[in-house]
Amino acid sequence: MKNSILALLLWAAATSATSANDNIPAAVRESFAQLYPEIEAPFWEERHDGIVAFFQDEEGLKKAFFQEDGSWIETRIRLGRGELPEGVNNFIRENYREAEISFCGKVYTESGAWYRVESELPDRIVLKTLDEEGKLIEERAILLSVGIQPAPAKAGPAELLPKRQIRLLEAK
């Protein structure tokens, strides 16, 4: 019975991966083949921010992002701290003493290549883009939704009000 369930799960995973790869637009496949002719069978994933090809080359595991019309957005490669240029490592050492780094790597685009450092805070993800010397090019944050405690099931309107004094302003 266990073998049957395992076989069924493996079949389902293989089938969904195959069908996901079959749904990739031809324009995206052609753009990928032009950029990376030595890569024969990337794994494809459709996401909210584009279509992503996962593949391995001499630099390591990469993710190439495309729009549905085949336009290449960027390619990312995760790098360990020891693989980063000295300037980027110096920036991290000086600015990330207490923050947890969730990603550091190199990003390739049509306009060039740079390094990205991402850190996670309780309410946001901070993305910093650096040049090879470690100079900050851009910083932006992605705000995360903050969990809100649901009201008790039997709460009446008065129980939903804040538990502090509310001062009314008098009209003049």
Task: Name the pTM for this structure.
Answer: 0.67
Q: pLDDT band for 48, please (50, 70, 90 cuts).
A: confident
Question: Are 65 and 48 contacting, i.e. CB atoms less than 8 angstroms apart?
Answer: no
Domain residue extents for the chain: 2-143
pLDDT tens per residue, range 20-33: 577 899 999 999 99
Q: Give the pairing of strands 50-57 and 112-120.
A: unpaired
Q: Is the pLDDT of residue 13 over 70?
A: no
Architecture of domain 2-143: Roll (3.10)
pLDDT tens across 88-127, in order?
Answer: 999 998 887 767 888 999 999 999 999 999 988 888 889 9
CA 90 to chain centre: 24
129 neighbors 136 (Cβ within 8 angstroms): yes
